[in-house]
Amino acid sequence: MSGLGRLLVPLGFGFAFLYLPILLMAVFSFNESRLVTSLTGVSTRWYVALWRNEALMEALFLSLRIAAVSATMATILGTLAGFALARFGRFRGRGAFAGMMAAPLVMPEVITGLSLLLLFVALEQAFGFPAGRGATTVAIAHATFGAAYVAVVVQARLRDLDLSLEEAAMDLGARPWRVFLLITLPLAAPGIAAGWLLAFTLSLDDLVIASFVSGPGASTLPMVVFSAVRLGLTPELYALATLTVLAVAATLLLALRLGFRPPRA
Amino acid sequence: MTPRLRRALVLALPAAWMLLFFAAPFAIVLSIGFAEPAEGIPPYAPLLRRGEDGALQLQLNMANLQLLLEDPFYAEAALRSLRVAAVSATLCLLVGYPMALAIARAPEGWRNTLLMLVVLPFWTSFLLRVTAWIGLLQDQGWINGALLALGLIEDPLRLLYTDLAMYLGITYCYLPFMVLPLYASLSRLDPALLEAAADLGARPWRGFLAVTLPLSLPGVVAGYLLVFIPAVGEFVIPELLGGPGAQLIGRVLWTEFFQNRDWPLASALAVVLLLLLVLPIALFQSRATRDAER
Question: What does the radius of gyration of chain B's CA atoms come to, in whole angstroms?
Answer: 24
Predicted confidence at residue B130, as pLDDT, reads: 92
- Domain presence at residue B180: yes
Rounded distance between C-alpha atoms, residue B137 and residue A231, angstroms: 16
Percent of chain B with pLDDT over 70: 94
Interchain proximity B263–A118, CB inside 8 Å:
yes
Closest CA to B112 of A103, A138, A251, A256: A256
B165 and B281 fall within a common domain = yes
Domain identity same for B157 and B208? yes
- Asked whether residue B6 is assigned to any structural domain, the reply reads no
Quote the number of domains for chain B: 2
Predicted local distance difference test score (pLDDT) of residue A4: 72
Instruction: Decide if A253 contacts B210 (C-beta within 8 A).
Output: no
Separation of alpha carbons B84 and B42, rounded Å: 33
| More confident of the two residues B290 and B34 | B34
For residue A4, give how far its alpha carbon lies from the nearest alpha carbon of chain B (Å).
Answer: 6
Tell me if chain A has a CB within 8 Å of the CB of B205.
no
- Distance from the Cα of B70 to chain A's closest Cα (Å) equals 22
Asked whether residue B68 falls in the same domain as residue B31, the answer is no
Q: Is residue B8 part of a domain?
A: no
* Domain identity same for B143 and B55: no
Same domain, B33 and B84: no
Query: Which residues in chain A are contacts of B120 at CB distance < 8 A?
Result: 245, 248-249, 252
Closest CA to B182 of B94, B116, B292, B294: B94
Q: Is residue B2 part of a domain?
A: no
In a domain, B46, yes or no: yes
B96 — contact with chain A (CB < 8 Å)?
yes
pLDDT for the residue B94: 96
What pLDDT is stored for residue A265 in this prediction? Answer: 38
Please tell me which residue of chain A has the smallest CA distance to B227: A106
Nearest to A14 among B99, B136, B285 (CB): B99
- Which of A3, A38, A263 shows the shortest C-beta gap to B204? A3
pLDDT at A261: 56
* Interface with A, mutate which of B18, B108, B186, B271 (most A CBs under 10 A): B18
Q: What is the pTM of this model?
A: 0.89
Nearest to A106 among B25, B117, B281 (CB): B281
Decide if B109 is inside a domain. yes
Q: What is the pLDDT along chain A (265 residues), one digit of tens a residue?
A: 456 777 888 899 999 999 999 999 888 889 888 776 677 888 888 999 999 999 999 999 999 999 999 999 999 999 999 999 988 888 888 888 998 998 898 899 999 999 999 999 999 988 887 888 889 999 999 999 999 999 999 998 888 887 888 888 888 888 888 888 888 889 889 889 989 998 999 999 999 999 999 988 899 999 999 999 988 888 889 999 999 889 888 887 877 776 555 544 3
Mark whether B171 and B248 lie in a shared domain. yes
Tell whether B109 and B155 lie within a shared domain.
yes
Domain that holds residue B47: 14-61
B247 at interface of A, judged by CB pairs closer than 8 A: no
Query: Cα(B95)–Cα(B127) distance, rounded to whole angstroms?
Result: 22
CATH code, B284:
1.10.3720.10
Q: Is residue A44 part of a domain?
A: no
Q: Which amino acid type is present at position A156?
A: A
Is the pLDDT confidence value at B38 over 80?
Answer: no
For chains A and B, what is the number of CB pairs under 8 angstroms? 281
Mean pLDDT of B253-271: 92
A85 vs B95, B226, B292: nearest CB? B292
Query: Is B1 within the bounds of a domain?
Result: no
* Domain around A157: 53-257
B175, B223: one domain:
yes
CATH number at residue A83: 1.10.3720.10
Alpha-helix runs per DSSP H in A88-184: 94-102, 109-127, 135-160, 164-171, 176-179
Mean pLDDT of chain B: 88
Same domain, B155 and B239: yes
pLDDT at A131: 80
Q: Are residues B190 and B164 in the same domain?
A: yes
